[in-house]
Amino acid sequence: MATPRPEPAFVVDTAQRRARLARRHALVEKVPDVESAARAMVALHGTDASGPYVAAWARVPDFTTSALDDALFGRRSLVRQMAMRRTLWVMEAGLLPPVVASPGARTAGAERRRLVRELELDGGFGDVDRWVDAATAGVLRALADGVCRTAVELGPLVPEAAGRFVAAPGTRWGAEMPVLPRLLTILTAQGMVVRGENRAGWTASRPTWTLTSTWLGGAVAPMDPDAAHTELVARWLRTFGPGTERDVQWWLGSTLGAVRRSLSELGAVPVGLEGSASVGWLPPDDVAPVEPVGPWVAVLPGLDPTTMGWVERDWYLGPHAREVVDKVGNAGPTIWVDGRVVGAWAASTGTVQVALLEDVGARARAAIDDEVARLTAWLAGGKVSPAFPSPLFGGRRHAPLPDAAPGRAPAGVPARPAAG
């Protein structure tokens, strides 16, 4: 039996969604430090080594790379964590309990099951479940001395984890690889192991590994998985709401049933979304319109949490999805004007290059030029090489995103414009 569609109380128009984005994402009202930037976005994407640095630059006045380095490796108020959608994030250390208990546990379970299947197909690992248990225990023993080690340095200390296998056999991605990195992925998602020092600069990644209890001065506190899931949904709504069930499900890498349970527990309010047939959700204490913002621009890195916060993206990508997002939904570096994407940028040569997809007018173009000049000066000749460059700069183009078809607001529901 189909779940009945909730009846929206009002419609949130696109101007209001863009105003919320501007204010909640620290793109107009900047924040004082990198911890505040991560908290504002729930977490910053960490797939690209440079991504969280450029994301912080866009949100924190006078940001320097040393500020994020100190937060990650000095005072350790932020950590890089494998969690939602098997993606690497930079988040406050205090967020680890719900992240490990809910999306982390799902990621760890899925990764272990996949590894067990592949090792069984390989045939050279005996009782695979027992082998994985012994190998992960060996990794934890080797890291118990508190020394941060790269995977290469860790390998000789963990003979239990030695060996190679064919990953994704029978597919075009099939390749022989060492098993140790896969074990580290599982242990990281479980919250047992954390990335320590980075042996490369801020634009590259050469991570070391250590026990979470050593790095942060204690183990991750256990948390009920359902409560953890609901806490993360609440944080997402506060930053990205209104959004659809599908948006939340995709962002968390969760299930529709779990998302609906959390929305119900939170008392989330269903709302219509201008130009969409989908129902959005807001926290019950956050239904009042926010004040509109004046003209603004932003230059955001690839996989920025603003660009990647929703799976239904028509309201800010418009006709430009094919030019800035690849075929599986990964967004390259983007240029924003007043809450929508209007172009892309690249800095693979040490100079920031810009490609605009429409005429934005003289005022916005001047503001973009100023922001690009500011980024160029900040990079000081450094290069940014995103894992997923914009299709405008050599990335792979995609078929239209599998978003819900746009439609009209539900009949009979009053539209709520932006405040003022």
Q: Is the dihedral of CA 190, 196, 198, 202 positive or negative?
A: positive
**pLDDT value at 373 more than 60:** yes
Whole-angstrom Cα distance, residue 343 to residue 152? Answer: 40
Which pLDDT belongs to residue 415?
A: 34
pLDDT at 212: 98
The whole-number average pLDDT for the span 31-35 is 98
Provide the pLDDT confidence category of residue 348 given band limits of 50, 70 and 90.
Answer: confident
Summarize the confidence of residues 172-179 as an average pLDDT. Answer: 88
What is the 8-class DSSP label of residue 86?
G
- Give me the sheet containing 353-356, strands edge to edge: 297-300, 334-337, 340-346, 353-356
How sure is the predictor about 397, in pLDDT bands with cuts at 50, 70 and 90? Answer: low
User: Residue 396's pLDDT band (boundaries 50, 70, 90)?
Assistant: low
Q: Which whole number is the average pLDDT over 193-220?
A: 96
- Residue 299 corresponds to which tokens in the numbers above? 């230059």
70-105 per-residue burial string, b: 16 or more CB within 10 A, e: under 16:
ebbbeeebbbbbbbbeebbbbbbbebbbbbbbbbbb
* Annotated domain spans of the chain: 92-216, 313-393
CB count within 10 Å of CB 248 equals: 26
User: Rounded CA gap, 289 and 194, in Å?
Assistant: 40
Q: pLDDT (tens digit, 9 = 90+) per residue, 59-75?
A: 999 999 999 999 999 99
For residue 150, give Cα distances in angstroms to 66, 78, 142, 156: 22, 20, 12, 11
**Which pLDDT value is given to residue 224?**
98
pLDDT score recorded for residue 3: 66
CATH architecture of 92-216: Orthogonal Bundle (1.10)
Tokens 């806490």 sit on residue:
231
Mean pLDDT computed over 300-310: 98
